Structure 1
Amino acid sequence: MVTAATSSSSNAGSYTTIKETVTFEREIKKSKFIAIAGPISDEQSAFSFLSQVRDPRATHNCWAYKVADQFRSNDDGEPSGTAGKPIQSAIDSSGIDRVMVVVIRYFGGIKLGTGGLVRAYGGVASECLRNATTCLIKSKVPMGVEVPFDLIGVLHHQLQSFQVENIRQDYETGKDGIVMISFIVDFDQVEKLEDAIKANCCRELVFYKR
């Protein structure tokens, strides 16, 4: 059973994800559970990751993933709500985003019951994520500002101090003596950069953000 949900805990400015694929294995009442977590960017990359790590020989390949405020999970034949949702809860509790966790089960002959399955899938998923190396990713914002020619040097000094990326100049603005300078800046630096530019240029400037 596939389920989808929306989370309200996403942060548009930055997020924590895992650096690389990590695996955790545990045997529970003769069933082998292997949790595999990997970084993803969207639904397409999630299903690509799933196709790479799932084992068609296994009894179940259960999974969940989170991308921003979107969750999806799948019980893959286990009783409804006993596999995908516990994996999803483990992801949510970890605070990690843009991640998928696949838990592969090889049935060992002993049934675990509903509660046992929830603990097994949620537990191995949590341990897997705890073992992962994480990193903070800052979102980037494309910006632009129109400035007179005589302020280009002042503006570039401010842009360099904020370590912006992809600086470009466009003189075809249709306005005499005005150049459009576009760049990409960290989300959490947008307001500070605007304030610094205004303070140092001492002019009314037009900013553009996407």
Structure 2
Amino acid sequence: MAAGITRVSSCYYHHLILKNKNGLSASVAVSTSFKKMVTNAASATITASSSTNHGEYRSIAERVSLEKEIKKSKFIAIAAPISDEESAFSFLSEVRDPRATHNCWAFKVGQHSRCNDDGEPSGTAGKPIQSAILSSHIDRVMVVVIRYFGGIKLGTGGLVRAYGGVTSECLKNAPTCLVKSKVPMAVEVPFDLLGLVQHQLQHFQVEDIKQDYETGKDGFAMISFKVDFDQVEKLENAVKANCSRQLVFYKQ
């Protein structure tokens, strides 16, 4: 048997949304841009509570592949970080080889997981790939195992060991990283405090900062942003302490 691990390319991480069950106060007018940002983010992601431990998860840092020959059949496992089911099928379309005998796969996004045998006997390919992913404790990942038949049948047990084995080995060699969830927030700020609030936000390395001046209140702007889930309370306390206790924060 011959095997080799290859790092294919760097990949992005998809930050999740940590929902606040209390939602936004109905008595306060929230800017249109913040509502749109929250709606789009929520529809494109799965909540952190459904898939992660306290708003964080471990995924692979980049796309990797492993090639192995088993009884003259060539197996190529390709693993990649994904953000959702749509990105999983996009990855599958990219790497599947129509010339191969089988393109079997499985992916996991939070508590949602799917697999496919692609013509192999039921339960001998997709399920072993899926089981290997679950055993790795890696989230938001897809593995596609491409098989080129070499003329020797492996039998049910042999197929299970082959597909599960190459997947486990591929993921074992993949570099991993801890990804923190991002919470979309907003704060309504009087014009004279905009610079001070912006300065405070920079200390917490917030992302996607936007300012909306159409708040319905003269002299006020709405600043929207995303921050690590474990920094929400610290950020809110720091901004209020250094800027104004009257500032009101909104988060999904």
TM-score by length of 1: 0.83
1:145 lines up with 2:187 in the alignment: yes
In the TM superposition, residue 110 of structure 1 has moved relative to its aligned partner by 3.0
The 5 Å alignment of 1:15-26 reads 15-26=57-68
The equivalent residue for 2:99 is 57
Q: 2: CA distance between counterparts of 1:54 and 1:175?
A: 54
Deviation by residue 1:171-207 (Cα, 9 ceiling, x = unmatched): 4433354432222222222122112223334523321
The equivalent residue for 1:182 is 224
User: 1:82 is matched by which residue type in structure 2?
Assistant: T
The equivalent residue for 1:160 is 202
The equivalent residue for 2:22 is none
Q: How many residues align?
A: 203
Deviation by residue 1:116-157 (Cα, 9 ceiling, x = unmatched): 221111110011112222233333222111234444344223
Greater CA drift, 171-180 or 60-69: 171-180
CA gap of 1:22–1:172, structure 2 versus 1, over 3 A, is closer
In the TM superposition, residue 99 of structure 1 has moved relative to its aligned partner by 1.8
The 5 Å alignment of 1:1-210 reads 10-11=51-52, 13-210=55-252
In the TM superposition, residue 74 of structure 1 has moved relative to its aligned partner by 0.3
Uncovered stretches (5+) of structure 2, i.e. residues with no partner = 1-48
User: 2:157 is matched by which residue type in structure 1?
Assistant: G
TM-score by length of 2: 0.71
Q: 2: CA distance between counterparts of 1:44 and 1:151?
A: 41
The equivalent residue for 2:11 is none
Sequence identity, in percent? Answer: 80
Report the RMSD for the aligned CA atoms in angstroms.
2.4
Greater CA drift, 166-175 or 69-78: 166-175
In the TM superposition, residue 162 of structure 1 has moved relative to its aligned partner by 0.7
CA gap of 1:140–1:130, structure 2 versus 1, over 3 A, is same
CA gap of 1:70–1:25, structure 2 versus 1, over 3 A, is same
CA gap of 1:9–1:107, structure 2 versus 1, over 3 A, is farther
Q: 2: CA distance between counterparts of 1:109 and 1:161?
A: 61
Q: 1: CA distance between counterparts of 2:192 and 2:95?
A: 57
Which structure shows the higher strand fraction?
1
